[in-house]
Structure 1
Amino acid sequence: MGGTKQGTDGRATHRERLAPKRLPFSLAVLAALMSLAGVFPCPRGCRCTDRSRSVECRDSNLSQIPQGIPACARRLLITGNNIPLLGEQSFAGNGTGLARLGALSLQANHIRRIAPGAFDGLASLRTLNLSANALASIAADAFLGLRLKVYLFANPLVCDCELQPVYWWLKNTSQAGDGQSLTCFGPEALNGSILGRLRAEDLKCPEDTYVFFAIVLALIGATFLMVLYLNRNGIKRWASNFREACHDQMEGYQYRYEQDREPGIASVTAVV
């Protein structure tokens, strides 16, 4: 009996020693399952990969940057949506913060305007792809404070006075990854021109032309009035001579009229 009890106690003790070794294996299985399901919540219409820390939102009919992007995300791809405006702090207002995000691709989202401070909060961002959108112009400080490469290919840039901040930005920075190939969509006179090869004075607005013509007309008018003022005495003499000449001419016409009228009067008297 004593031997049997000792054997039973020995087996129990042996199982107790084995039990702690099974716990890490259970946790590993649980971690694997959580990894497959996604440790972090993923925005609706997006696909999140925990291992690569990437988030992809393709053709999800999004109208703004989705909320709830995992804070660990290092790569964010949003493409094939309809996001006309990137408003101020579009990513800082995400709720989780995206301080680790290094690559952001926003291709083909019909983006028309980028507000100042749209990329605030993306301190680690190094690559920004805005190709194939509907950008006609870009705010001067859209990329202020960011050290990154920006790609803007295949946007319908209108090369007028409103694009001058982007023009000077391209001239003074190496941030534009495709800056040497950006072409103008409008105005018609500059369609197809390479933006980087234009001169600053080529970027004009229609109202600038109207203002120029108004200034020219005003200068012509002022010059004419000045000439009249400086020659006012001569103009007075010319006006006086012209008036006297007209008076003499009218007197001559009146005299001839009276001379022509007298024979008619005489013939009428003779008949009577």
Structure 2
Amino acid sequence: MPGGCSGSPSTGDGRLRLARLALVLLGWVSSSSPASSELSLFSAVSTQPPLGYCPPPCECSEAARTVKCVNRNLTVVPADLPLYVRNLFLTGNQLAVLPAGAFARRPPLAELAALNISGSRLEEVRAGAFEHLPSLRQLDLSHNPLADLSPFAFSGSNASVSTPSPLVELMLNHIVPPADEQQNRSFEGMVAAALRAGQALRGLRRLELASNHFLYLPRDVLAYLPGLRHLDLRNNSLVSLTYVSFRNLTDLESLHLEDNALKVLHNDTLAELQGLPHVRVFLDNNPWVCDCHMTDMVAWLQETEVVQGKARLTCAFPEEMRDRVLLQLSSSDLDCDPILPPSLQTSYVFLGIVLALIGAIFLLVLYLNRKGIKKWMHNIRDACRDHMEGYHYRYEINADPRLTNLSSNSDV
């Protein structure tokens, strides 16, 4: 009992000290809590990325990283696009012109990888229109009447600096403008200049140029696209591939040439296609001319495996060969009508032109001297008449026997 009473004062003092220490700590914490809360709030704000908000004309999905501004009659690219956008659709608008830096923002749209501006009535794309998009991999400009496509549209606004483009897929289907808006220059050449400028598209893997009414491909347009794997040229008006080289497209996997105006593929083209290790060629719906010039192509088709659906290829001309399957033709079926050599044809054409000129000059001379010629004709007529009258008089004398005897006696 005495022992328990002697220990109670010390125990109470210890508890009192602990209580005082707790009060001091509580006061210090309460006095410093506003600063700590402000610090924690600042740190939270500083670590949160500036995602931006969705522009009023658009529909945004942050989860899908997609922004759609479709059929909104926009005349310019929205300036307040959210930074998280990875897929941007601007189809069905009235953009008309894409100026330099049309997508430049601060901070930049670093995540934008797929951009679709098809069917937005674009008529002009200026140099550097797609600058400051470091992650852009897919671009679709199809179904726009592009009358002016800058050679540096895909590289940069500074023509002296070659800026590689990050593009992997480029769609330029049905971009041919009306004939009155082509400004008397080659549409094929304009597109080719944009594809090869500064070698900016060396990393391109897919190129679609369908439905553009191309009559030919410029000679070196594919030389600047060595990484190409898929080339779509269907539904154009290509009549020949003689001047196009596929030799450097060693990674090419598909070549679409359907619905063109090809009549025959010559040996050089056949050899280049056969030399590509992975290619698949599509040649349907071309007006093949089955004459003696088709012999090499028929032999190649019968041996090669690169042409897909080759059993569907049929003759379109001449009329007697229409709908004949190319694979079933033999050399005896492929004849040419005997025609003059081209050099001789040219000579005869030139001769015909010279003779026509001589005839025209002769007629002009006759017309200018028509009065003199008329007088000359009258003189000839009078001379012929006098001659015929004398001949008639002598004939009458010879016909009368009495006059004949008198003539004979007078002669004696």
TM-score (norm 1): 0.59
Aligned partners of 2:83, 2:30: CA distance in 1, in Å?
39
* Residues 166-177 of structure 1: pairs in structure 2 closer than 5 A: 166-177=297-308
State how 1:100-119 maps to structure 2 within 5 Å: 101-119=228-246
Instruction: Give the residue type in structure 2 aligned to 1:32.
Output: V
Secondary structure at the aligned position of 1:10 is classed as: helix
2:251 to 124, 145, 162: 124
The residue correspondences of 1:163-242 to structure 2 (distance < 5 A) are 163-207=294-338
Structure-1 residue corresponding to 2:288: 157
Q: Cα–Cα, structure 1 residues 57 and 197, in superposed 2: closer, same or farther, change >3 Å?
A: same
The AA in structure 2 aligned to 1:173 is T
Amino acid corresponding to residue 204 of structure 1 in structure 2? D
Which of 1, 6, 9 is the equivalent residue of 2:35?
9
Q: What do the CA deviations read for 1:28-71 (whole angstroms, capped 9, x no partner)?
A: 84241643656369586568xx9994524125345355534966
Change (3 A) 1:139 1:22: farther
- Partner Cα distance (1:52, 1:117) in 2: 22
Matched, 1:32 2:95: no
* Count of aligned positions: 204
Cα shift at 1:196: 0.9
Bigger mean CA offset, 56-65 vs 190-199? 56-65
Q: AA paired with 2:325?
A: I
Q: CA deviation at 1:148?
A: 1.6
TM-score by length of 2: 0.41
Find the partner of 1:57 among 173, 180, 198.
173
Structure 2 unaligned blocks of 5 or more: 1-26, 53-64, 66-81, 87-108, 117-135, 145-165, 178-186, 342-412
Partner residue, 2:49: 23
- Which whole-Å deviations, capped at 9, do the CAs of 1:186-206 have from their partners, x for residues lacking one? 233322211111112432333
Offset at 1:150? 1.2
Q: Does the 8 Å CA contact 1:45/1:60 hold for their aligned counterparts?
A: no
Does structure 2 retain, via aligned residues, the 8 Å contact 1:107–1:133? yes
Structure 1: which 5+ runs fail to align? 212-272
Give the conservation status (yes or no) of the 8 Å contact 2:281–2:307.
Answer: yes
What residue in structure 2 maps to residue 133 of structure 1? Answer: 260
Q: Which has the higher contact order (CA 8 A, sep 6+)?
A: 1
**2:174 aligned partner, one-letter code:** R
Identity fraction in percent: 22
Matches within 5 A, 1:55-94: 55-58=171-174, 60-61=176-177, 62-63=187-188, 65-66=191-192, 67-68=194-195, 73-93=204-224
RMSD over aligned CA atoms reads 3.8
Note the C-alpha offset of 1:155: 0.8
